[in-house]
């Protein structure tokens, strides 16, 4: 079984009935689903593999209707073909909808892995669709418990399907259970990250965020139109004023129905575990996450780099060059603090996708095609090359080689606006084995010395290398370190199953084994020894309730291959 690797994005809209038509929804309340592709476009950075939508339309025989496929948002929704897009949105009219963009390595060419996942049922409260951003660290335990019953069967190797079965079980009672109570069951089952949007055939929408708040999620309401998205920039570009956009609190569920909006706290934790990598790399630079601007955080990281700089920079031949695009804010701030030019010595081909996100080509091939060094900028210069992070080092090796061959700089000094990545992520970022990470090959006792950084630089083909220290991250982001998940740079995980997987990864690495940590983890020898806000002792011995009715549904197919 392949380990899950995903960093996704979710969105939702709901136009409340009996209210004035929102100016953000000029087509009227039933045109609310048309806003989903717009929201997804602004979080496309979080996933370029697949996209989808589910809408709710009261009075339609198909109360919930789902459409999803492999491809970018523009491809899936035919945004370049106005007639096809209008026809699709006409069929998908309704008062509420949710959407998803996906990245994952498992099942990547199969449209059935795309989200949302819809589950049909004759009972309206059991007919639902949902999408989520995150990853369950205890996925294999949940899966094993489910399949312990030989009458149970799973179609896909994805935690999304396991989440669907947990929701099925919690929605099973008749009459319909309160959705807040359904949400309260999730922290007892799940160890890991989950920002989730849910819509049922009763016309009830739920937007929730796990109690540790790993993944970002924002919402806004103008009196008629409610909207939510993984990043605030999507809501801002939809037309909500900045003061109306708020983060979903960790452990909070927002339940929207014809009756209005209510807020329920379904889980609590003594602290948060916001993924620091969201500020450093993943999120749109225009977003604000949990009250902290992504741009200002990256700017502060660049200022931290400038304070550590020891090279002479007043010789008139030193320049700062960012690795486009996520490093630009840090590079600009570093250059300004040092009083040297920040120049675009690397031009990015914007049509190749993000190396970290898209892996249809090899990483070397994609990195080679992605950036073009400019000799006119680089030749004869001392270059301070600023990168947001180094995970596997593939891109950096290719960059340094191409810069030397094509740009002919005098020196290349790598400056990384992040500490070394020393441990895998099991909460939704595509770096999940020790063997694929660059830094652990050099850092054996947790200490990063000048000598170790010199060895790293030599292996990368650079003249020098400098990382930021761990303490600089929380300082730059402006959030207490105890409220950040920094597991990949500290090796300390905020949930029991994350820690268990990390220990297994380290043991495998010491034995010289490669491959995914999930492939070797023993889910039967022990359970989580201590509960946490994101992890209880798993499912009851009886397992998860079996699925009733149909599984996930796709409506149409833009590629014509269904």
Would residue 114 be called left, alpha or beta, if left means φ above 0 and alpha means ψ between -120 and 50 degrees?
A: beta
SS3 53: strand
Q: How far apart are CA 58 and CA 64, in angstroms?
A: 9
Helices 294-308, 328-338: inter-axial angle, 10-degree rounding: 40
CB atoms within 10 A of CB 174: 9
What sections of 353-393 are H helices per DSSP?
363-370, 375-378
Could you please report the per-residue DSSP string of 473-514?
A: HHHHHTS-GGGEE-HHHHS--SSHHHHHHHHHHHHHHHTT--
Residue 373 near residue 402 (C-beta atoms within 8 A) = yes
Which residues touch 497 (CB under 8 Å, ≥6 apart)?
137, 138, 141, 191, 192, 426, 528, 535
Cis ω before 325 (30° cut-off from 0): yes
3-class SS letters over 60-116: CCCCEEEEEEECCHHHHCCCCCHHHHHHHHHHCCECEEEEEEECECCCCCCHHHCCC
Active-site residue, selected from the candidate residues 8, 25, 425, 528: 8
| Count of residues making up the chain | 562
Active-site residue, 488 included: no
Q: Which residues are CB-neighbours of 178 under 8 A, at least 6 positions away? A: none
Catalytically annotated residues: 8
């Amino acid at each position: 079984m392949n380990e899950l690797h995903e960093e996704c994005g979710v969105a939702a809209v709901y136009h409340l009935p009996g209210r004035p038509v929102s100016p953000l929804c000029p087509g009227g309340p039933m045109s609310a689903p048309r806003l989903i592709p717009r929201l997804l476009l602004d979080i496309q950075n979080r996933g370029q593999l697949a996209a989808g939508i589910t809408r709710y339309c009261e009075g339609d025989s198909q109360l919930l209707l789902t459409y999803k496929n492999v491809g970018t948002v523009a491809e899936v929704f035919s945004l370049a073909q106005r007639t096809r897009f209008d026809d699709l949105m006409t069929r998908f009219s309704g008062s509420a909808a949710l959407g998803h963009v996906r990245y994952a390595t498992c099942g990547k060419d199969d449209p059935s892995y795309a989200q949302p996942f819809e589950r049909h049922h004759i009972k309206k409260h059991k007919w639902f669709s949902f999408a989520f951003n995150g990853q369950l660290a205890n996925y294999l335990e949940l899966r094993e418990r489910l399949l312990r019953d030989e009458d149970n069967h799973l179609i896909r190797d994805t935690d999304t399907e396991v989440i669907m079965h947990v929701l099925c079980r919690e929605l099973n009672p008749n009459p319909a259970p309160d959705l807040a109570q359904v949400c309260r069951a999730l922290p007892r089952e799940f160890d890991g990250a989950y920002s989730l949007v849910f819509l049922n055939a009763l016309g009830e929408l739920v937007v929730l965020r796990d109690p540790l708040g790993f993944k970002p999620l924002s919402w806004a309401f103008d009196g008629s139109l409610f909207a939510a998205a993984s990043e605030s920039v999507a809501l801002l570009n939809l037309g909500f004023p900045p003061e109306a956009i708020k983060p979903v609190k960790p452990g909070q569920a927002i339940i929207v129905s014809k009756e209005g909006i209510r807020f329920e706290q379904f889980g609590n934790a003594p602290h948060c575990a916001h993924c620091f990598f969201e500020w450093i790399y993943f999120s749109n630079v225009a977003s604000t996450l949990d009250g902290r601007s992504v741009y200002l955080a990256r700017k502060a990281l660049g200022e931290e780099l400038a304070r550590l700089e020891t090279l002479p920079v007043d010789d008139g031949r030193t320049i700062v060059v960012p690795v486009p695009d996520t490093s630009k804010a840090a590079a600009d701030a570093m250059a300004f603090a040092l009083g040297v030019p920040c120049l675009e010595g690397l031009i990015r081909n914007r049509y190749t996708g993000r190396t970290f996100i898209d892996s249809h080509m090899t990483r070397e091939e994609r990195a080679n095609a992605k950036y073009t060094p400019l000799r006119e900028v680089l030749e004869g210069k001392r270059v301070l090359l600023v990168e947001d992070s180094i995970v596997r080092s593939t891109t950096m090796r290719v960059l340094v080689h191409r810069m030397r061959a094509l740009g002919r700089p005098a020196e290349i000094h790598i400056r990384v606006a992040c500490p070394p990545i020393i441990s895998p992520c099991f909460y939704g970022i595509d770096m999940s084995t020790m063997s694929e990470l660059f830094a652990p090959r050099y850092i054996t006792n947790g200490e990063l010395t000048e000598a170790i950084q010199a060895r790293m630089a030599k292996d990368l083909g650079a003249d020098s290398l400098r990382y930021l220290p761990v303490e600089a991250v929380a300082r730059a982001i402006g959030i207490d370190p105890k409220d950040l998940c920094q597991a990949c740079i500290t090796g300390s995980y905020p949930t029991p199953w994350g820690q268990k997987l990390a220990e297994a990864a380290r043991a495998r690495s010491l034995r010289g084994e490669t491959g995914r940590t999930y492939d070797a983890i023993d889910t039967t020898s022990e359970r989580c020894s201590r509960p946490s806000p994101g992890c209880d002792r798993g499912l009851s011995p009886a397992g998860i309730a079996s699925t009733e009715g149909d599984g996930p549904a796709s409506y149409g197919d833009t590629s014509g291959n269904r």
